[in-house]
Amino acid sequence: MLRIDGLSVAYGGLRALSGLDLEVNDGEFVAIVGPNGAGKTTLFKTISGTVTPVAGRIEFEGRDLLAIPAAERAHLGIAHVPEGRQVFKTLSVWDNLQLGAYPQADRGAFARNIGRIVELFPVLHERRDQLAGTLSGGEQQMLAIGRGLASSPRLLMLDEPSMGLAPTIADAIFERIEEVHRQDRVAVLLVEQRVAEALQSCDRGYVLDTGRVVLSGTHTQLMADPTVKRAYLGM
């Protein structure tokens, strides 16, 4: 589904990503972990088109993604839920969800998607007329994920969905992400600071450091790796 080869990104002469290779197969859950500054958010921005690489190739379902303008990439079935949620705070919950549905070719799917979204996050129905900026942090994260799901994505990219949330709320968010992957067979590409939860949930994972993939493998391989245990799992 998504294939990245030799991707390099530079800011002011400094490499944020360097020769990165990564892939996500259809319906797969892939986690990306690593320290702050490893290049995780830069990777997502490059896939979405808000950052331009200096080298490398990105393909999505066989198409050259770098040849497609950023504004058109969402129409291919890629939904990016950014770090910090970034909901439209002066718009209602309902309006945020409607904006999320904009990339759909089939607008009739919106009603079906809304049904699924409120099943996952009932509070969004309860707060449908409330301004998004007045929601709690957890509710805003639910809205950001719901807005991504409104577009009927084939690939859902989630950047630090647990950031700034209480542990119980973060746990609930993770459960819903796992449910979407498991029941709806949406491919998930997750960047997450809660490494244990990310690796427990994923099919495969990548460890990034200073813009490079330093380790990759299946869920089982990464959970058993001594370096991962020591650096990220406190074992």
Give me the mean pLDDT over the 118-146 stretch. 96
Contacts with 55 (C-beta within 8 Å, 6 or more apart), sequence order: 6, 7, 8, 19
Find the DSSP H helices in the chain. Answer: 40-48, 70-73, 93-100, 109-120, 122-126, 137-149, 167-184, 195-201, 219-224, 226-232
- Integer Cα distance of 170 and 147 in angstroms: 18
The pLDDT of residue 104 is 56
- On the 0-12 / 13-18 / 19+ scale of CB atoms within 10 A, 144 is buried
The pLDDT value given to residue 165: 93
Domains within the chain, CATH numbers bracketed? 2-77+154-232 (3.40.50.300), 88-153 (no CATH)
Model pLDDT, residue 235: 56
What pLDDT does residue 141 have? 96
Distance between CA 32 and CA 191 in Å, rounded? 5
The pLDDT tens digits for 24-69 are 999 999 999 998 889 999 999 999 999 999 999 999 999 999 999 9
Q: Label residue 128 exposed, middle or buried (CB < 10 Å: 0-12, 13-18, 19+).
A: middle
pLDDT exceeds 60 at position 197: yes
What is the distance between the terminal CA atoms of the chain, rounded to a whole angstrom? 34
Average pLDDT over residues 144-166: 94
Per-residue pLDDT reduced to its tens digit, 200-213: 899 999 999 999 99
| Average pLDDT over all residues of the chain | 92
93-97, 138-142, 196-200: segment of lowest average pLDDT:
196-200
DSSP 151: T
Instruction: Give the per-residue pLDDT at 100.
Output: 85
Q: Looking at residue 107, what is its pLDDT?
A: 58
For the chain, helix (H) and strand (E) counts, in that order, are 10, 10
Q: Is the full-model pTM beyond 0.85?
A: yes
Average of pLDDT values for 198-227?
93
Residue 212, CB-side half-sphere exposure with 13 Å CA sphere: 5
Evaluate whether 201 touches 178 at the Cβ level (below 8 Å). yes
